[in-house]
Amino acid sequence: MIRTVFAAASAAAIVLGVGAAIAQQDVIKQRKDLMKANGDQAKIAAAMAKGEKPFDLAAAHKIFATFEDAAAKMPNLYPANSKSEEGSPVADKFSPTEKVWTDMADFKKRFAKFGNDAKKANATVKDLASFKAAIGAIGKNDCGGCHHDYRHENKS
């Protein structure tokens, strides 16, 4: 009887451990997918701002909507159990630094600002000039500032 209880408890612990590892990788994948979507939209924005691609107001709205959506979702995708990406198939030089978890209040505040700035830009951008001003400010102040402090790529 004791062996049966012990075996069942051990099996449950293994299942929970595997489930936690899968959940951790899922949240990591979700945040990387959101950041990739942001990056894809930022490339389109840069091409329009540089004149490599014609300005398209509908595309501008999609860019800002993508940013706003990501800003709303991202703060919840950094639970404490997702600190380590080592051994994860999604670990890379873009992984978050430990500062995400040691200064979570600032990290979340930056996402709130990013979302607000994207929402404001989405409502006010009407032409190429206003688009360039908005995307430049978001890129420098929101994206660049957060990446500088919270992403490994910039820590080498």
Q: Where are the domains of the chain?
A: 2-155
Mean pLDDT in residue range 79-87? 73
Least confident window among 7-11, 62-66, 70-74, 121-125: 7-11
Task: Tell me which of 2.60.40.10, 1.20.120.10, 3.10.180.10, 3.40.228.10 is the CATH number of domain 2-155.
Answer: 1.20.120.10
Q: At what angle do helices 57-73 and 104-124 cross, to 10 degrees?
A: 160
d(CA 146, CA 74): 12
Mean pLDDT in residue range 24-46? 91
Contact 135/100 with Cβ under 8 angstroms? Answer: no
- Give this prediction's pTM: 0.78
Residue identified by tokens 């979700």 is 30
d(CA 89, CA 92): 9
pLDDT at site 83: 80
CA dihedral (107, 61, 59, 40) in degrees, to 10, reads 10
More confident residue, 91 or 138: 138
Rounded percentage of the chain residues whose pLDDT exceeds 90: 60
